[in-house]
């Protein structure tokens, strides 16, 4: 019973995150904030959306 | 009681500082400390998220996880709560205050991976804090983070115009500054 409760709770939390993520994605950016960039050059976490490597990749693709 | 809370506040801000004493949040410490404005933006965003995340995770732990006897789920629950809260905060700020979004928006996704947030939520539980202690600790920890980040960014801005040996330029001199700051802050341990 405890395991089922834990799994159910986990599923609720994950679905809450997915719903909020999608809602946030669909919320339009305020005017003037379309091309905001963080001034970050610190670490090598390439999964981070603020990593400058992403901007460099976009520039080279263009 | 008030004296205890004051001690906890001073300890969490200065003595058990998240960055210089516990070595947490090193990524934003090195990455977002080149300019004072960025450091201030990151600091404010971290204060906001930690306070909200601590209250929510504390309530969730004692009102849901403990009654259901699934306390072992706290780590994964807290991670999901923090990630969800960051999304919620970003969405709320986008809709209500474009100017605030301009200054904080880019730093909000970074906070999801900031281990200071998770550590603060877990410490509230593992230290057995009451509500008042939890609130004080959750305000003190991010304040200490923001304070150190701001001081460090001010020093790094000055370093830009200073004469630094070539081999020490950039991150090496920043790490030396961080080490000296850690030593300076450890000297404050005697005040409590």
* Domain extents in chain A: 2-61
Judged by CB atoms closer than 8 Å, whether chains meet at A42 and B107 is answered as no
CA distance B188 to B192: 8
Residue B63 DSSP SS3: helix
**Domains of chain B: which residue ranges?**
2-186
Q: Cβ contacts (< 8 Å) between B34 and chain A: which residues?
A: 39, 41
For chain B, residues with pLDDT lower than 70 are 103-105
Closest CB from A17, A29, A37 relative to B84? A17
Identify which of A28, A30, A48 has the shortest CB distance to residue B110: A48
**For residues B13 and B140, is the Cβ–Cβ distance under 8 A?**
yes
pLDDT score, position B61: 94
pLDDT digits (tens, 9 = 90+) for B151-174: 999 999 888 888 888 888 888 898
* Best CA proximity match to A40, nearest among B16, B115, B114: B114
> Quick one: how far is CA A51 from the chain centroid?
12
| A2-43: pLDDT as tens digits | 888 889 999 999 999 999 999 988 988 887 777 766 666 656
* Least CB–CB distance from B73: residue in A10, A41, A45: A10
**Are B77 and A13 a contacting pair at CB < 8 A?**
yes
* Ramachandran class of B45: left when φ > 0, alpha when ψ lies in -120 to 50, beta otherwise: alpha
Contact B27 A42 (CB under 8 A): yes
Taking only the tens place, the pLDDT of each residue in A42-60 is 566 666 666 667 666 666 6
Length of chain B, in residues: 192
ipTM of this predicted complex?
0.75
Q: Whole-model pTM?
A: 0.82
Q: Is the dihedral of CA B25, B27, B30, B36 positive or negative?
A: negative
Residue of A nearest to B35 (CA): A39
Q: Are B78 and B50 in contact (CB under 8 A)?
A: no
């Amino acid at each position: 019973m405890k395991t089922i409760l834990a799994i159910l709770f986990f599923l609720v939390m994950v679905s809450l995150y997915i719903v909020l993520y999608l809602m946030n994605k669909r919320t339009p950016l305020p005017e003037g904030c379309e091309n905001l960039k963080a001034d970050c050059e610190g670490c090598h976490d390439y999964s981070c959306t603020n990593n400058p490597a992403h901007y460099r990749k976009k520039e080279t693709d263009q | 009681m008030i004296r205890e809370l004051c001690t906890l506040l001073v300890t969490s801000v200065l003595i058990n500082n998240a960055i210089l004493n516990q070595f947490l949040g090193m990524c934003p410490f090195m990455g977002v400390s080149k300019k004072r404005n960025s450091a201030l933006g990151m600091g404010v965003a971290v204060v906001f998220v930690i306070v909200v995340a601590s209250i929510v995770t504390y309530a969730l732990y004692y009102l849901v996880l403990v009654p259901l006897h699934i306390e072992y789920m706290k780590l994964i629950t807290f991670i999901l709560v923090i990630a969800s809260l960051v999304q919620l905060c970003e969405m709320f700020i986008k809709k209500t205050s474009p100017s605030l979004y301009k200054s904080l928006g880019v730093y909000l996704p970074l906070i999801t991976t900031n281990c200071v947030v998770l550590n603060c939520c877990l410490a509230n539980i593992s230290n057995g804090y009451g509500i008042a202690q939890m609130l004080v600790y959750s305000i003190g920890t991010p304040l200490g983070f923001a304070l150190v980040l701001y001081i460090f960014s001010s020093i790094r801005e000055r370093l830009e115009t200073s004469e630094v040996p070539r081999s020490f330029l950039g991150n090496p001199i920043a790490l030396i500054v961080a080490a000296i700051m850690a030593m300076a802050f450890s000297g404050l341990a005697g005040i409590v």
